[in-house]
Amino acid sequence: MGIKMIVSTIKPDKGSLHVLAASVDAYAPEVDLCIENGKGPTFGDDYNRAIERFMSKDDDGVIIANDDIVLAPYSLRLLLEDVEALKKLCGPKLGLVAARSDYVRPSQNIRIPRDDRDQFVGMRWKGEGAVKKNKVVSPLFAWLPRLAYEQAPFPPLNWFSDDVMCADLVALGFSHWISRSYIHHVGSMTIGVDMQSNLQQSLPWMKSHRPHYLEQWGIE
Protein backbone atom coordinates (compact mmCIF):
# COMPACT_ATOMS: atom_id res chain seq x y z
CA MET A 1 0.00 0.00 0.00
CA GLY A 2 1.11 3.58 -0.62
CA ILE A 3 1.59 6.23 2.03
CA LYS A 4 -1.60 8.13 2.82
CA MET A 5 -1.51 11.68 4.14
CA ILE A 6 -4.85 12.85 5.47
CA VAL A 7 -5.67 16.54 5.73
CA SER A 8 -8.91 17.69 7.29
CA THR A 9 -9.71 21.38 7.25
CA ILE A 10 -12.67 23.33 8.58
CA LYS A 11 -11.57 26.57 6.90
CA PRO A 12 -10.52 25.59 3.37
CA ASP A 13 -11.01 29.13 2.04
CA LYS A 14 -8.76 30.71 4.68
CA GLY A 15 -5.97 28.18 5.02
CA SER A 16 -2.89 27.60 2.92
CA LEU A 17 -4.07 24.30 1.51
CA HIS A 18 -2.74 25.04 -1.96
CA VAL A 19 0.73 25.69 -0.51
CA LEU A 20 0.66 22.40 1.39
CA ALA A 21 -0.42 20.55 -1.76
CA ALA A 22 2.36 22.20 -3.77
CA SER A 23 4.97 21.17 -1.21
CA VAL A 24 3.70 17.57 -1.28
CA ASP A 25 3.89 17.55 -5.08
CA ALA A 26 7.42 18.90 -4.97
CA TYR A 27 8.92 16.98 -2.05
CA ALA A 28 6.74 13.92 -1.47
CA PRO A 29 5.12 12.96 -4.80
CA GLU A 30 4.78 9.33 -3.70
CA VAL A 31 2.24 10.31 -1.06
CA ASP A 32 -1.48 9.83 -1.65
CA LEU A 33 -2.80 13.19 -0.44
CA CYS A 34 -6.34 12.81 0.90
CA ILE A 35 -8.03 16.14 1.56
CA GLU A 36 -11.30 16.16 3.48
CA ASN A 37 -13.20 19.40 3.98
CA GLY A 38 -14.45 19.27 7.53
CA LYS A 39 -18.15 19.34 8.25
CA GLY A 40 -17.97 19.60 12.04
CA PRO A 41 -19.14 19.84 14.63
CA THR A 42 -15.54 19.67 15.92
CA PHE A 43 -11.97 19.26 14.73
CA GLY A 44 -11.81 15.84 16.38
CA ASP A 45 -15.01 14.65 14.68
CA ASP A 46 -13.68 15.80 11.32
CA TYR A 47 -10.43 13.93 11.70
CA ASN A 48 -12.11 10.71 12.81
CA ARG A 49 -14.44 10.91 9.82
CA ALA A 50 -11.55 11.50 7.43
CA ILE A 51 -9.43 8.71 8.91
CA GLU A 52 -12.30 6.22 8.75
CA ARG A 53 -12.86 7.19 5.14
CA PHE A 54 -9.28 7.05 3.91
CA MET A 55 -7.45 4.50 6.08
CA SER A 56 -8.00 1.08 4.55
CA LYS A 57 -7.74 -2.25 6.35
CA ASP A 58 -4.34 -2.79 4.71
CA ASP A 59 -2.79 0.41 6.10
CA ASP A 60 -0.80 0.03 9.31
CA GLY A 61 -1.09 3.77 9.79
CA VAL A 62 -1.46 7.12 8.08
CA ILE A 63 0.13 10.56 8.21
CA ILE A 64 -2.22 13.22 9.50
CA ALA A 65 -1.62 16.92 8.87
CA ASN A 66 -3.16 20.31 9.46
CA ASP A 67 -4.01 22.49 6.49
CA ASP A 68 -1.63 25.32 7.36
CA ILE A 69 1.75 23.59 7.08
CA VAL A 70 4.42 23.37 4.39
CA LEU A 71 6.72 20.39 3.93
CA ALA A 72 10.48 20.74 3.60
CA PRO A 73 12.43 18.57 1.12
CA TYR A 74 13.35 16.08 3.87
CA SER A 75 10.13 16.14 5.95
CA LEU A 76 8.67 12.86 4.72
CA ARG A 77 11.95 10.95 4.55
CA LEU A 78 12.99 11.74 8.12
CA LEU A 79 9.52 11.06 9.52
CA LEU A 80 9.28 7.64 7.88
CA GLU A 81 12.83 6.70 8.86
CA ASP A 82 12.03 7.51 12.47
CA VAL A 83 8.72 5.63 12.32
CA GLU A 84 10.45 2.46 11.07
CA ALA A 85 13.06 2.65 13.84
CA LEU A 86 10.41 3.29 16.50
CA LYS A 87 8.24 0.40 15.31
CA LYS A 88 11.15 -1.90 16.16
CA LEU A 89 11.65 -0.22 19.53
CA CYS A 90 8.02 0.08 20.65
CA GLY A 91 6.24 -2.67 18.77
CA PRO A 92 2.44 -2.45 18.94
CA LYS A 93 2.60 0.28 21.60
CA LEU A 94 3.91 2.98 19.27
CA GLY A 95 1.79 6.11 19.50
CA LEU A 96 2.05 9.32 17.50
CA VAL A 97 5.34 10.26 15.84
CA ALA A 98 5.21 13.99 15.09
CA ALA A 99 7.45 16.43 13.25
CA ARG A 100 9.06 19.45 14.82
CA SER A 101 7.99 22.88 13.67
CA ASP A 102 8.44 26.60 14.27
CA TYR A 103 4.96 27.33 15.66
CA VAL A 104 4.02 24.54 18.04
CA ARG A 105 4.19 23.52 21.71
CA PRO A 106 7.61 24.29 23.30
CA SER A 107 8.76 20.67 23.56
CA GLN A 108 8.31 20.30 19.80
CA ASN A 109 9.40 23.76 18.72
CA ILE A 110 12.60 23.71 16.71
CA ARG A 111 15.65 25.43 18.24
CA ILE A 112 14.00 26.48 21.48
CA PRO A 113 15.30 24.14 24.23
CA ARG A 114 12.82 23.46 27.04
CA ASP A 115 15.42 24.29 29.70
CA ASP A 116 15.94 27.77 28.27
CA ARG A 117 12.72 28.55 26.49
CA ASP A 118 12.87 32.29 27.18
CA GLN A 119 15.94 32.62 24.97
CA PHE A 120 15.58 31.97 21.26
CA VAL A 121 18.41 29.85 19.90
CA GLY A 122 19.02 30.50 16.21
CA MET A 123 21.73 27.89 15.72
CA ARG A 124 21.17 24.14 15.76
CA TRP A 125 21.13 22.56 19.20
CA LYS A 126 22.16 19.04 20.12
CA GLY A 127 18.66 17.63 20.61
CA GLU A 128 17.58 18.56 17.12
CA GLY A 129 19.19 15.57 15.44
CA ALA A 130 17.55 12.87 17.56
CA VAL A 131 14.07 11.54 18.20
CA LYS A 132 12.73 12.15 21.68
CA LYS A 133 9.93 10.67 23.72
CA ASN A 134 7.22 13.04 24.89
CA LYS A 135 3.93 12.50 26.71
CA VAL A 136 2.02 14.72 24.30
CA VAL A 137 2.69 15.90 20.75
CA SER A 138 0.85 18.17 18.36
CA PRO A 139 0.08 16.23 15.17
CA LEU A 140 0.79 19.00 12.66
CA PHE A 141 2.52 16.37 10.51
CA ALA A 142 2.48 13.04 12.29
CA TRP A 143 2.37 9.28 11.83
CA LEU A 144 -0.72 7.79 13.46
CA PRO A 145 -0.55 3.99 13.79
CA ARG A 146 -3.73 2.05 13.13
CA LEU A 147 -3.55 0.27 16.50
CA ALA A 148 -3.21 3.55 18.38
CA TYR A 149 -6.12 5.11 16.52
CA GLU A 150 -8.34 2.09 17.17
CA GLN A 151 -7.63 2.34 20.90
CA ALA A 152 -8.10 6.09 21.22
CA PRO A 153 -9.59 8.10 18.34
CA PHE A 154 -9.71 11.88 18.46
CA PRO A 155 -12.14 13.23 21.09
CA PRO A 156 -14.99 15.48 19.86
CA LEU A 157 -13.10 18.69 20.59
CA ASN A 158 -11.40 21.60 18.89
CA TRP A 159 -9.07 22.58 21.75
CA PHE A 160 -7.36 19.71 23.68
CA SER A 161 -8.05 17.12 20.96
CA ASP A 162 -4.37 16.16 20.68
CA ASP A 163 -3.76 16.42 24.45
CA VAL A 164 -6.64 14.06 25.25
CA MET A 165 -5.75 11.54 22.53
CA CYS A 166 -2.12 11.46 23.66
CA ALA A 167 -3.03 11.15 27.35
CA ASP A 168 -5.55 8.37 26.68
CA LEU A 169 -2.91 6.43 24.75
CA VAL A 170 -0.22 6.93 27.40
CA ALA A 171 -2.67 5.51 29.96
CA LEU A 172 -2.89 2.42 27.73
CA GLY A 173 0.87 2.01 27.59
CA PHE A 174 1.58 3.73 24.27
CA SER A 175 4.48 6.15 23.82
CA HIS A 176 4.67 9.26 21.63
CA TRP A 177 7.74 10.61 19.92
CA ILE A 178 9.03 13.80 18.36
CA SER A 179 10.73 13.07 15.07
CA ARG A 180 13.84 14.64 13.54
CA SER A 181 11.50 15.73 10.76
CA TYR A 182 10.58 19.41 10.39
CA ILE A 183 7.70 21.24 8.73
CA HIS A 184 6.92 24.96 8.53
CA HIS A 185 3.73 25.92 10.35
CA VAL A 186 1.99 29.15 9.39
CA GLY A 187 -0.12 29.33 12.56
CA SER A 188 -3.47 28.25 13.99
CA MET A 189 -5.59 28.76 10.90
CA THR A 190 -7.59 25.57 11.42
CA ILE A 191 -9.45 26.49 14.60
CA GLY A 192 -8.41 30.12 15.00
CA VAL A 193 -6.18 31.93 17.46
CA ASP A 194 -8.73 32.95 20.11
CA MET A 195 -7.32 30.64 22.77
CA GLN A 196 -9.74 31.70 25.49
CA SER A 197 -12.75 31.02 23.27
CA ASN A 198 -11.36 27.64 22.23
CA LEU A 199 -10.74 26.76 25.87
CA GLN A 200 -14.26 27.69 26.96
CA GLN A 201 -15.81 25.68 24.12
CA SER A 202 -13.98 22.54 25.22
CA LEU A 203 -14.46 22.78 28.99
CA PRO A 204 -17.98 21.27 29.23
CA TRP A 205 -16.91 18.05 27.46
CA MET A 206 -13.67 17.89 29.43
CA LYS A 207 -15.48 18.34 32.76
CA SER A 208 -17.93 15.58 31.85
CA HIS A 209 -15.52 13.08 30.31
CA ARG A 210 -11.92 13.81 31.42
CA PRO A 211 -12.08 15.91 34.60
CA HIS A 212 -8.89 14.29 35.93
CA TYR A 213 -6.95 15.75 33.00
CA LEU A 214 -8.10 19.25 33.85
CA GLU A 215 -6.92 18.70 37.41
CA GLN A 216 -3.55 17.38 36.19
CA TRP A 217 -3.14 20.33 33.82
CA GLY A 218 -4.17 22.91 36.44
CA ILE A 219 -7.21 24.12 34.52
CA GLU A 220 -10.39 25.10 36.37
174: domain CATH number is: 3.90.550.10
Total residue count of the chain as it appears in this document: 220
Do the beta carbons of residue 16 and residue 70 sit within 8 Å? yes
Q: Which residues make Cβ contacts (< 8 Å) with residue 11, sequence separation at least 6? A: 67, 189, 190
Confidence of residue 90 (pLDDT cuts 50, 70, 90): very high
Q: To the nearest whole percent, how much of the chain has pLDDT over 90?
A: 58
Asked whether residue 208 carries a pLDDT value surpassing 90, the answer given is yes
Overall domain count for the chain: 1
- What digits encode the pLDDT tens for the residues 133-164? 999 999 999 999 999 999 999 999 988 899 99
**Stated pTM of the model:** 0.90
Type of residue numbered 143: W
Exposed/middle/buried for residue 18 (C-beta within 10 Å: 0-12, 13-18, 19+): exposed
Q: Strands 3-9, 31-37: parallel, antiparallel or unpaired by DSSP? A: parallel
- What digits encode the pLDDT tens for the residues 25-43? 999 999 999 988 877 788 8
CA distance 63 to 139: 9
User: Pick from 21, 64, 86: which is nearest to 165 by CA?
Assistant: 64
CA distance 44 to 95: 17
Q: How far is CA 105 from CA 16, 62, 153, 178, 212, in A?
A: 20, 22, 21, 11, 21
The residue segments making up the domain with residue 122 are 3-217
Torsion angles phi and psi, residue 12, rounded to 5 = -65, -25
Looking at residue 213, its pLDDT comes to 92
Q: How far is CA 202 from CA 42, 99, 159, 196, in A?
A: 10, 25, 6, 10
Asked whether residue 119 carries a pLDDT value surpassing 70, the answer given is no
